[in-house]
Structure 1
């Protein structure tokens, strides 16, 4: 077995186990069944989310996009495709809009489109709901936006569905890489981000009075989504189809668009728009970016 394939399989298993472990922590602690945590707890999660945003930003700008542009450029040149239309950027835009449209459909189906402006994956602070005081909104700052009147099993399922769609595309970015260092860097980015998401999802499910069995089922299925994406990416690369290189390059572009969406529309805006400790948040974003940039430089 090639070393690259071993690294990808290791990332697959590692993501699965760690996501399951972190997602089940709230279910085992009475504190999370009764409250969303103290202010210290919320601020800590916010800093971790900012760190994840920096990691995603570096993975997106320093790894995924450059590699994708190189691969798709070489493939278009090999196929003698000569056009002034920006095909490479258009494919990334398709990935961006694909996730945006899917999320909007989920929001619309869950009946939340007119009630809250925060995306399901948002880490927003103080998004308006049209009810409650400003103090109440500030006090509700947390990584999965909680509407106290929206703790329903159906909404929790729609939240789960939206997050799962994101996870598949995140895993796809790992499975399509051609270098071990890139697999590890992107895996770190996804692991940090997904740990926060699955933790918050588990808290949301518990607050929605979902039965423990279904909490376990939701977390279990969600944990398998990124590994599923990794598996799809590995299959595309291992199949060695006649058009396999082109398919791989196009999927890389879609995955790059997904990373752009998650980074610039999900994590960074909702954290930076929050008034709490803005300079420290920027510091944690820079820290995450710097660590990934250092890894890329060494690699």
Structure 2
């Protein structure tokens, strides 16, 4: 076994272990799962959630979309904006599937309210504390968009799916390198990046009331995606096969469209709907975005 292959295998196990560790923090600690704590606890948890929202916004605008556009531009040429069209197809796929899921499950009323309602929605002023009151007022004739439904399980699954697909391509980038220094450089950048991403993903899964066993399964599968990409890259390098760049680029585009939907119609509206501490929430969203932007600049 040559040294380059050893470095790639080391990167594979390093990514797997560290992603599992950071992903298990919100899932294992009761502090992140507790929704009946003190007011201070709820405020701090909300700010952490806003930070995660900023992380996902940066991942969408500074990582996933640029990577996709860079890859697709080398594969497709023409006057029609096909790269943007593929992203739109990813967006509409999630939108249509989610509407169908809600219609078939009889939960259309839960998502009827606008994601960013005009004025101050009285149901959001303290959604954790007055959950039962909100539900009872929702049945009296005026619908209230209850916080518990803001993070739907379906949207959380789509978030997990799009991030997992992107993680495979990140791992593929490591597996296809032909120098050990480049492998280490990319691996370190992905380790820092994925540690923050998987923590934020785990937090969103917990907030979506996903059962603990499913959260553990999501995090385990997500942790295996980059190692899987590395394995595929190593196999391609060893067998001297074509990488299938066009197929990869199309899949990246669909994942990017999915991530646009989740980021702008699920994560950010949920954090910004509440009238509690709006400026501080924006500050924490900006903080999460800035950290990821700094990592992108350095890496």
Alignment TM-score > 0.5, same fold: yes
The answer for unaligned runs of 5 or more in structure 1 is 77-81, 129-133, 150-154, 206-214
In 2, are the aligned partners of 1:174 and 1:186 still within 8 Å (CA)?
Answer: no
Partner of 2:62: 62
CA distance in 2, matches of 1:22, 1:220: 11
TM-score, normalised on structure 2?
0.71
Report the counterpart of residue 219 of structure 1 in structure 2: 215
CA contact (8 A) 2:58 2:289 kept: yes
Instruction: After TM superposition, list the pairs within 5 Å mapping 1:95-110 onto structure 2.
Output: 95-110=90-105
- Separation in structure 2 between the aligned mates of residue 232 and residue 248 of structure 1, nearest angstrom: 14
Distance in 1 between residues matched to 2:272 and 2:195, nearest whole Å: 22
The alpha-carbon deviation at position 73 of structure 1 amounts to: 0.7
Query: How much has 1:293 moved relative to structure 2?
Result: 1.6
Call closer, same or farther: CA 1:40–1:8 in 2, change over 3 Å: farther
Q: 1:296 to 1:84 in 2, by over 3 A?
A: same
Aligned-residue RMSD, C-alpha: 3.8
Residue 12, structure 1, aligned to residue 21, structure 2:
no
Instruction: Report what 1:138 is aligned to.
Output: 125
For the 8 Å contact 1:167–1:225, the answer to whether it is kept is no
Number of aligned positions between the proteins: 263
C-alpha distance in 2, partners of 1:53/1:145?
Answer: 26
Which has the greater radius of gyration?
Answer: 2
Aligned to 2:168: 175
Query: TM-score w.r.t. structure 1 length?
Result: 0.71
Q: Where do residues 1-299 of structure 1 align in structure 2 (5 Å cutoff)?
A: 1=5, 3=7, 6-7=10-11, 9-26=13-30, 32=34, 36-76=36-76, 82-117=77-112, 134=122, 137-141=124-128, 160=153, 162-177=155-170, 178=173, 179-180=186-187, 183-184=190-191, 186-201=193-208, 204=209, 215-227=211-223, 229-230=225-226, 233-234=229-230, 237-238=233-234, 240=236, 242=242, 244-299=244-299
Aligned in 2, Cα 1:217/1:186: closer, same or farther, shift over 3 Å? Answer: same
Deviation at 1:261, TM superposition (A): 1.9
Q: CA contact under 8 A between 1:172 and 1:233: conserved in structure 2? A: no
**Residues 1:229 and 1:59: Cα distance change in structure 2 (over 3 Å):** same
SS state at 1:66 partner: helix
Q: Deviations over 1:167-198 (max 9, x none)?
A: 12212212202243652454144223213223
Q: Which structure has more RCO (C-alpha within 8 Å, separation ≥ 6)?
A: 2
Structure 2: stretches of 5+ with no match in the other structure = 137-147, 174-185
**Closer/same/farther in 2, CA of residues 20 and 285 from structure 1, 3 Å limit:** closer
Deviation at 1:232, TM superposition (A): 5.7
- Cα 1:170–1:115 shift into 2, 3 Å: same
Offset from partner CA, 1:57-92 (integer Å, 9 cap, x none): 22222222222111111122xxxxx42111111111
Asked if the contact 2:75/2:246 (under 8 Å) is kept, the reply is yes
